[in-house]
Structure 1
Amino acid sequence: MNIINEPDNHISQDAVTVWRISNSIGEGIALIVLAGLLWAGYYFDWYHWIIIVLWVLIVLTPISAIWSVFMEPLLLQKYWRYGINEEFVQLKHGILNEEHIIIPMTKVQYVEAKQGPLLRKYKLYTLSIGTMQSSHSIPALPEHEALMLRDEIAHKAKLKEVD
């Protein structure tokens, strides 16, 4: 029985910056929506309990922002690992709930490199690996590495299929 080694490749350090910007935008939008709902609650004289719930959510938003902007991106980047060899693609991430995914090359149906506006600014890609049942992603890979891995996985998956 062969032992599969743990993956040891890391995602980019720039992922922290991208996730911080993205999470800041999300938290800002949430705060604006809650403030708008609170205004609507007073203006349209909604039930008092709705206004109390909105105030509680507005108070909790900065706590959520501290977690999602300052702590979560650092931990995500620190614990994300991936590895690729002739037979498998391995993904490992998570702090409390550690997830270790092993994808056989024979099951890979497609490989896709995606980037949105923030990833493009930092020259990063998210690599998606699809099988018949699911799709898995490796976030925030540097451009050269992502394109090289995409081609390597596609080549190895095709070779395994032909064998």
Structure 2
Amino acid sequence: MNDIKLEHKLAADMPKVRIISETIGNIIGFIVLAILLGADVYFEWPVWIGWILYGLIVFTVLGTIWAFIEPKYLYRSWSYQIDEDYLQLTYGVLKREWVTVPMTKIQSVSTSQGPILRKYHLRTIKVETMGSSHEIPALDEPVALEVREKIAISAKLKEVDE
């Protein structure tokens, strides 16, 4: 396994933003399950439906616990590096991923910002190639804009040079 560390990390607020986002999703999930359990009792659905709903509650609780643990480890494992030739990404908690994207293959680069990212002045960069797309989540706004510009310039320069 390659343990080389890339030079750039995500924004320090990334774990907090991820926990908030996951918590909102889990709350919505619990509300939906509570409504379904209420409907199960009210309409007297078959017993197996109740068991499935209780199983889903167990998985949702486990997912909620993981949502508080995973962002801290994901933040520690996420790094990226950009040079004239390649965009390199490495990330993963349980399964470590190492991605190298040649600048000549990049077709578009964009930033996005939802309401939670906006509150913390963060942006996500999305890089598209012909066959895949890659994201660098939760970068500080000035850094994200600079990285987007650097990738756009490097990808364009490589196309012109060839």
TM-score band by shorter chain is over 0.9
Aligned counterpart in structure 2 of residue 146 of structure 1, from 136, 144, 147: 144
Q: What secondary structure sits across from 2:93 in the alignment?
A: coil
Amino acid at match of 2:52: V
Aligned to 1:39: 38
Percent identity of paired positions between Structure 1 and Structure 2: 48
Does 2:65 correspond to 1:66?
A: yes
Contact 2:113-2:122 within 8 A present in 1 as well: yes
Q: Which whole-Å deviations, capped at 9, do the CAs of 1:89-120 have from their partners, x for residues lacking one?
A: 00110122111110001111111011011101
Does 2:116 correspond to 1:121?
A: no
Aligned to 1:17: 16
Amino acid at match of 2:41: Y
Instruction: Normalising by structure 2, report the TM-score.
Output: 0.93
Alignment partners' CA distance in 2, 1:64 and 1:113:
28
Aligned counterpart in structure 2 of residue 104 of structure 1, from 83, 94, 102: 102
Amino acid at match of 2:49: I
Aligned to 1:30: 29
Q: CA deviation at 1:62?
A: 2.5
Amino acid at match of 2:146: M
Q: Which whole-Å deviations, capped at 9, do the CAs of 1:66-88 have from their partners, x for residues lacking one?
A: 111x1011111111010001100
Q: What secondary structure sits across from 1:91 in the alignment?
A: strand
Q: What secondary structure sits across from 2:89 in the alignment?
A: strand
Q: Which whole-Å deviations, capped at 9, do the CAs of 1:20-58 have from their partners, x for residues lacking one?
A: 110111111111111110111111110011112212322
Quickly say closer, same or farther: Cα 1:100–1:57, change in 2 above 3 A: same
Extract unaligned runs of 5+ from structure 1.
none
Alignment partners' CA distance in 1, 2:159 and 2:51:
59
Amino acid at match of 1:108: I
Aligned to 1:133: 131
Alignment partners' CA distance in 2, 1:38 and 1:59:
13
Extract unaligned runs of 5+ from structure 2.
none
Contact 1:35-1:58 within 8 A present in 2 as well: no
**CA RMSD across the alignment:** 1.2
Alignment partners' CA distance in 1, 2:28 and 2:136:
27
Aligned to 2:159: 161
Contact 2:70-2:93 within 8 A present in 1 as well: no
Aligned to 1:90: 88
How many residue pairs match? The answer is: 158
Alignment partners' CA distance in 2, 1:157 and 1:59:
47
Q: CA deviation at 1:6?
A: 4.7
